[in-house]
């Protein structure tokens, strides 16, 4: 639900805010078997230029014991921290949320009752903005007909990416695991591949390494690494594997531009459609 008193548009760091919300929402989905998830944005107070907005993600899921409230945001220090996500997750989600909210000079607040559900909320001040021109991505069919493989184990990410790429006229195939991604690349030649780095089992690096083998029909297909971890040290990553690093949730203009640059640079033939 969005408060109808909000301004039409705000100046904000879209990547960070979407990252915060997407981490909170995917947790809510993960920890709520039945019931519902509620996402709200409300204007708490407002001035001529700046409004204070409250963002809230609540669920009717398993809830979180009070004793965990403190350390749940400090997942970095927990022993369960893993580089490759298995069952429970990387344990980075809330640590990232806390950091990103603090970059907005605010604090993430948790209210929860075990068995009832959880609410995560934060308030930030945002400057009202006048509407910008329509982004270039809305008025272009330059990517029409290209075939993209998305490899990501989180269905919500796949769904979001699929909608976006579809709106650009691209054709989308997806794989839930690294192994599945390799299988698909053996059968179909793609124009681009979006590869989540953290997948359970075979991660994105391993999968990419195998796709880049000379006998794979996609050995020279541009592969974009997707990571939800804004704090990731990209220097540690072997950039020779990947054409681009993209933060999740995907920034539409950036992705569009990256696709476009590569298709122009590579003199890709726009497929007949
Ligand atoms: P991850 O989910 O990858 O383990 P997070 O930092 O996102 O890492 O979450 C840490 C832990 O906090 C989760 O493993 C879970 O135990 C708990 N948690 C987070 N969000 C919720 C929620 N909405 N409901 C219940 N538990 C949650």
pLDDT of 152-178, one tens digit each? Answer: 998 878 888 888 898 899 999 999 999
- Residues touching ligand 1 (Cβ under 6 Å) are 27-28, 31, 59, 61-62, 64, 72, 75, 88-95, 118
| Tens digit of each residue's pLDDT (9 = 90 or more) over 25-60 | 999 999 998 899 999 999 999 988 999 999 999 999
Percent share of the chain, pLDDT over 90? 48
Cβ neighbours, 10 Å, residue 230: 15
The predicted pLDDT at position 235 comes to 45
Residue of 135, 132, 131 whose CA lies nearest to 168: 135
| Tens digit of each residue's pLDDT (9 = 90 or more) over 184-196 | 999 999 999 999 9
- Residue recorded with tokens 């407002």: 46
Mean pLDDT within 109-125: 97
Residue of 53, 185, 199 whose CA lies nearest to 125: 53
Alpha helix locations (H) across the chain? 14-30, 93-102, 155-167, 178-187, 204-211, 252-265
State which ligand 1 atom lies nearest to the alpha carbon of 117: 24
Whose alpha carbon is nearest atom 20 of ligand 1? 27
Gap from CA of 6 to ligand 1 centroid (Å): 30
Gap from CA of 244 to ligand 1 centroid (Å): 29
Q: How far is it, in rounded angstroms, from Cα 119 to Cα 175?
A: 32
- What is the chain's alpha carbon radius of gyration, rounded to the nearest angstrom? 20
On the question of pLDDT at 64 being above 90, the answer is: yes
- Hey, which residues does 38 pair with through a beta bridge? 58
State which ligand 1 atom lies nearest to the alpha carbon of 62: 25
Gap from CA of 256 to ligand 1 centroid (Å): 32
Cβ neighbours, 10 Å, residue 34: 6
The predicted pLDDT at position 216 comes to 96
- State in Å, rounded, how far the first CA of the chain is from the last one: 39
Whose alpha carbon is nearest atom 8 of ligand 1? 91
CB 164 within 8 A of CB 250: yes
CB-neighbour burial class of residue 115 (10 A; exposed 0-12, middle 13-18, buried 19+): exposed
- Residue recorded with tokens 């639900």: 1
Report CA-CA distances (Å) from 78 to 68, 141, 200: 12, 47, 19
| Tens digit of each residue's pLDDT (9 = 90 or more) over 215-244 | 999 999 999 998 877 655 554 555 677 888
The predicted pLDDT at position 76 comes to 53
Whose alpha carbon is nearest atom 12 of ligand 1? 72
State which ligand 1 atom lies nearest to the alpha carbon of 91: 8
- Measured in whole angstroms, the distance separating CA 189 from the mean position of its chain's CA atoms is 25
Residue 51: its H or E element: strand 50-59
Gap from CA of 115 to ligand 1 centroid (Å): 14
Whether the link from the prior residue into 40 is cis, omega within 30° of 0, is: no
The predicted pLDDT at position 237 comes to 57
**Mean pLDDT over all residues of the chain?**
84
Gap from CA of 27 to ligand 1 centroid (Å): 6
* Cα 198-201-205 angle, rounded to 5 deg: 50
Gap from CA of 220 to ligand 1 centroid (Å): 38
């Amino acid at each position: 639900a969005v408060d109808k008193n909000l301004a039409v548009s705000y100046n904000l760091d879209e990547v960070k805010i979407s990252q915060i919300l997407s981490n909170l929402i995917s947790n809510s989905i993960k920890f709520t078997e039945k019931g519902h998830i509620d996402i709200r944005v409300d204007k708490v107070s407002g001035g001529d230029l700046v409004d204070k907005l409250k963002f809230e993600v609540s669920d009717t899921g398993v809830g979180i014991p009070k004793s965990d409230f403190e350390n749940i945001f400090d997942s970095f220090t927990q022993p369960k921290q893993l580089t490759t996500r298995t069952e429970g997750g990387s344990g980075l989600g809330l640590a990232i949320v806390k950091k990103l909210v603090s970059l907005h000079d605010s604090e993430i607040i948790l209210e929860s009752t075990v068995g009832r559900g959880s609410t995560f909320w934060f308030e930030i001040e945002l400057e009202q903005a006048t509407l910008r021109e329509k982004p270039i991505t809305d008025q272009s069919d330059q990517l029409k007909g290209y075939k993209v493989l998305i490899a990501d184990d989180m269905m919500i990410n796949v769904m979001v990416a699929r909608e976006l790429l579809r709106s650009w006229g691209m054709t989308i195939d997806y794989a839930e695991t690294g192994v599945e991604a390799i299988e698909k690349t053996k059968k179909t030649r793609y124009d681009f591949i979006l590869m989540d780095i953290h997948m359970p089992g075979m991660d994105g690096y391993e999968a990419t390494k195998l796709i880049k083998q000379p006998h794979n029909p996609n050995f020279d297909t541009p592969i974009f690494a997707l990571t939800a971890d804004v704090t990731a040290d990209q220097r540690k990553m072997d950039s020779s594997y990947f054409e681009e690093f993209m933060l999740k949730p995907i920034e539409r203009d950036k992705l569009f531009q990256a696709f476009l640059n590569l298709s122009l640079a590579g003199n890709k033939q726009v497929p007949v459609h």
